[in-house]
Amino acid sequence: MNHDPHRAGTRVTVIPGDGIGPEVVAATQRVIDATGVKILWEPHEAGAAVFRRGLPSGVPPETIASIADTRVALKGPLETPVGFGEKSANVTLRKLFETYANIRPVREMPGVTTPYSGRGIDLVIVRENVEDLYAGIEHRQTAGVAQCLKLMSRKGCEKIVRLAFEVAIAEGRKRVHCATKANIMKLTEGLMKRTFEAVAPDYPQIEAHHIIVDNCAHQLVRTPEQFDVIVTSNMNGDILSDLTSGLVGGLGFAPGANIGNEVAIFEAVHGSAPKYAGKNTINPTAVLLSGVMMLRHLGELEAARRVEEAVLVTLERGTYTRDVRPEGAASTDRFADTVIANLGQRPEHWRARDVQALRMPTLDPTPDFMRLKTRRTVGVDVFIEAEISPAQLGPTISEVADGLPVQLKMISNRGTKVFPATGAVPDCVDHWRCRFVLRDGMTALLDDTIAELLRRVARHHRWMHVEKLEQYDQDDGFTRAQGED
């Protein structure tokens, strides 16, 4: 590609990726080059080949250095190990460069027949990209019980919510839905909901609606045309964006961008599909449209419009790949050649959206983002391992607090209160949460008291995890177990 060091241009790191990645990325590079925009491609690797060399992150230092320097990358799909130690190279790149937003447009395409054809689906999923369960903090707490920490921050929620409103403004959209599971996870998903409701008044020109995520999935299948922008947490966004791509013809038409304040990485939503690698049959549209998003990010709005319109013209005039229909399907290369030939032409019945430059939100960079007036430790949850019944465990755990400023309030198993008995009959495992709270008249729980409590617990049972029960500005920073008063 463009490697002449004497030619002026914008430097972009390009990661061909695994499986079908090199084919669809090369097709996209050819189309972008044909627009006349001067891109200096800097090829680097990540993914399967790097894992095979024994690097657990899947991303070598030279690739990291290139992205840190260019600040823009076009990336093919990378293989992710399943069920063993290596981290996802995709997630590694997102986290290293704090690309906190994953933007995934979904739009009905000409010539791509689906059960939703003619409904006018045209929406964007704005997914938080580095927090939530994807923090990847997991532990086996007993031999048969594993834990994953769902971490969501006020700052992370505000950044993604504000960006969703900015996407709506840049693309001339009218409404933003915030999809959460705040009815169940009131502190984590609830934080996203509360942040959305606090930020929405700053964008009075945009309609703001909260929706429970399972209802959102239901509504997307029934009436997807009602949505413009959906902002949501990491796991929810991962699921919803795959669902929405299925409405318009599949992952072959699903572009994506990982955006941060410093770095942007552009990639299709689809995977590496190794069984199709090297066959020159894969649809490059998703990566092509990711390239359109990259051009917009670089300020090349006219070139972005020309490529998007050329893709629409190509599909409208009946050139398609095997994922649309096997009969008469074009190869990857011929599809890209046809798009190049159609540059400068406009579709007859399909309009490319008039997209303006996206304004990135700016927040206070300090870690201490939230300012508190008061905080108080009012108790402690001690998680222990024991192979006995709640009726046997309760009295022994109650006794360890004798003479201390705390007392046992309850014991839960998998989130349900089992001691004192409630009449419920849960199927218990060997993982128990023992909740100790301050006795009447006590004002605060000190670390020395918690340390002594743990020493006493350890004489009888193995403990593996401790959580302080905090009050922030007199609001409880913890939830109750099912059945707990």
Catalytic residues: 134, 181, 214, 238
Sort strands 101-107 and 122-128 into parallel, antiparallel or unpaired.
antiparallel
Q: Annotate 462-472 with b (16+ C-beta within 10 A) or e (fewer).
A: ebbeeeebbbe
* Residue 204: cis peptide before it, omega within 30 degrees of 0: no
Judged on CB neighbours under 10 Å (0-12, 13-18, 19+), 30 is middle
C-alpha span between 461 and 474 (Å, rounded): 33
Compute φ and ψ for 391, nearest 5 degrees.
-65, -35
Phi, psi for residue 217 in degrees, rounded to 5: -60, -40
Helices assigned H by DSSP within 298-325: 301-316
Token code pair at residue 333: 């290369």
Query: How wide is the angle at C-alpha 435 spanned by C-alphas 430 and 439, nearest 5°?
Result: 150
Integer Cα distance of 144 and 447 in angstroms: 30
- Beta-carbon neighbour count of residue 39 at 10 Å? 23
For residue 223 the two structure tokens come to 């009436």
Q: What gap in Å lies between CA 32 and CA 266, rounded to an integer?
A: 14
Give CA separation, 92 vs 85, 97, 99, 131, 134, in Å. Answer: 13, 9, 10, 12, 11
